[in-house]
Amino acid sequence: MHCVNPALRMTKNVSVRRPSRPWYRPSLTTQIMIGLVVGVAVGWIRPEWGNNVYFLRDIFLNLIKSIIGPLVFSTLVVGIAGGGDLRKVGRMGVKALVYFEVVTTAALFIGLAVVNLTRPGRAVPLVTGATETVQKIGQTHPQTLIETLVHVFPSSVFDSLVRGDILQ
């Protein structure tokens, strides 16, 4: 069939092009790759520079950690609200739980296999003065099964977000 409207016939041959960006403004992916290559090169050539700018690393990691909680929370809220029917939301939750369990189990087995094959830390001498660190870790984390179960549930809705316990 032929197009009756001549205006439609004219737009048929027109190609849509994205506006080209200037050479001095590369895409975000290109910027990330350039930063990665420059960072590796500088760290390889002058490793002491990394120790001088440790605060930039800490600031960056703290900013990344601070956005994880709100990002997970908003993703869950939008996902549940956009689900519509409660049955669909329930099925989606079951599928997500099964997927999470399967992938976590696979990651566990891969990690155990890699650790048993490579034996990391085998040549590292143990420090005998590390008892303070071990005691400090033992005091801050739950030690019994009941304490672990109590720790799973936050004391308030925003408590786990504030402390950064995403899995809680």
pLDDT tens digits for 26-41?
999 999 999 999 999 9
Residue 142 has pLDDT above 70, yes or no: no
Confidence bin at 114 (pLDDT 50/70/90): very high
> For position 5, what pLDDT does the model report?
58
Residue 55 has pLDDT above 60, yes or no: yes
Please state the pTM of the whole predicted model.
0.46
* Alpha-carbon torsion, ordered 123, 124, 129, 134, to 10 deg: -110
Mean pLDDT of 51-78: 85
Q: Determine which of 48-62, 99-113, 150-164 has the lowest per-residue pLDDT on average.
A: 150-164
> For position 101, what pLDDT does the model report?
95
